[in-house]
Amino acid sequence: MMHSERELPAGARIALAVALSIALAAAVLALFTKDFSPALGQFFFEPFANRYFFGNYIADSVPLMIAGLGVLIAFRSRNFNLGGEGQIYAGAIAAGMLALSLPERISPAEAWLFAALAGMVAGGLIGALSGILKALWHVSEMISSFLISAIVLNVGDYLITGPFQDPASNFQTTRQISSQLLLPRILAPSKLDISVFIGLALIAVLAIMSKHTRPGFELRVCGENEEFARYCGIPVALYQSAAMAISGALYGLAGALIVMGPQARVMRGFSSGLGWSAISVALLAQSSEAGVLPSALFIAYLKAGSDHVMIGSGVPSEIISILQAAAMFFITARHFPVRKRRRP
């Protein structure tokens, strides 16, 4: 019928999606674990149980914050960057290769800066390519970013397992980056490092730019209505390409920071799935930069909880994947059926 569905206010919709995801997680645990209550504890409380678990949980949320911001910037200009997987990989490989070839005497701060820049440039160029293709020839950025990403992933695999393969390792990985060049750890013994501050700072800076500066305003106008933006004399093609480039750069940065932090090397396929999780973060954030922080924490929490159950209660990883997919499904649903209002 005509009015049986009504769009809920954004806040209620998000709260409902989060609640449903959590309820579903509990239901999955009840179904697939022999012992329900310890599994429940592992899922919901173990991520906070000690410094090690908590630090790892937060460390996993950092790339989601940065990559989530990347997706969000693209959203702002009405572009869908589906090339995150490849852009993260490219950023990671660029950062890794640079860090491995840096001279011995370089200071750690310089190494971090160069590696981060290398990651951003690599990801940014790939993102910009999709933006330019769209501006020039109306190539759908969704399709081009996805396909370019598929190429980049394969080229990346070749580089890691070919010319850059660590001959001393049995794994498909590059050599290890010298440990004094890595980002300093905080909250040891967990893998959390200072990149969390970079993530928080980026969220703050972009949130302020979006609300209080002219480029932020113009980007928003471009995203809401291209024709109107043109009417206002805003260079739409420039903003769209720039947004895709920044989006790619943030993805690349996320990859670079993983390599310069917890990974200390570039392993084949290490970032698999991160690009997609970043999309859920951005969707959950409801096009608000500040919203990226709780969203990234929530998505990382689902993952941390699932990992603990997987190890602690032996739930197969496929079940966990289903749970994460279902959570994504709830988040992307714009309409929830609402009881039809009774006619007088």
Partner 1 sequence: MQPMIAVRMRGISKRYFPSGIRANDEAMLEVERGSIHAIVGENGAGKTTLMKILAGLELPDAGTIEIEGKPVHIQSPAHARELGIGMVHQHFLMFDDLTTAENIFFGLEPLRVSKIPGVLGILDRQSLVEQTRRIAADYGFVLDPMAQAGDLSISARQQVEILRQLARNLHILILDEPTSVLTEQETTALFEKLAEIRRMGHTIIIVTHKIDEVMRIADRVTVMRQGKTIGTYDIAATTANELACLIMGTNVCEEISPRTEPAAQGPVVFQIEGLRARGHHHGETGVTDLHFAVHAGEVLGVCALSGNGLAELEDALGGFLVPSKGFCIFDGSRLDIRRIHEYRQLLKKGAIGYLPSDRMRRSMALSLTVRDNFMAVSRTRYFHRGWFRSTLATRQTQDALHSFDISAQPEQKTVELSGGNIQKLAIARLFSIQLPKLLILCEPTWGLDIKSTENVHRRILDAKAAGSAILILSSDVDEILALADSIMVLYRGRAVLLASNSGELNRERIGEYLLGARSE
Question: What residue ranges bind partner 1 (CB under 8 A)?
Answer: 1-3, 6, 9, 211-215, 217-218, 220-221, 224-225, 227-233, 343-344
Question: Two tokens at 41?
Answer: 């504890």
14 touches 341 (CB < 8 A) = no
List the one residue out of 90, 172, 146, 95 whose CA is nearest residue 123: 90
Question: Two tokens at 53?
Answer: 């678990």
Q: β-strands 335-337, 5-7: how paired? A: antiparallel
CB of 188 to partner 1, least distance (A): 41
91 touches 120 (CB < 8 A) = yes
Instruction: Give the largest CA-CA distance in the chain.
Output: 81
Nearer to partner 1, 107 or 225 (CB): 225
CB of 220 to partner 1, least distance (A): 7
Question: Two tokens at 312?
Answer: 């602690």
Nearer to partner 1, 103 or 233 (CB): 233
CB of 214 to partner 1, least distance (A): 4
CB of 215 to partner 1, least distance (A): 8
- Residue 267: phi and psi, rounded to 5, are -95, 150
Nearer to partner 1, 178 or 287 (CB): 287
Nearer to partner 1, 78 or 175 (CB): 78
CB of 218 to partner 1, least distance (A): 7
Nearer to partner 1, 78 or 185 (CB): 78
71 touches 278 (CB < 8 A) = yes
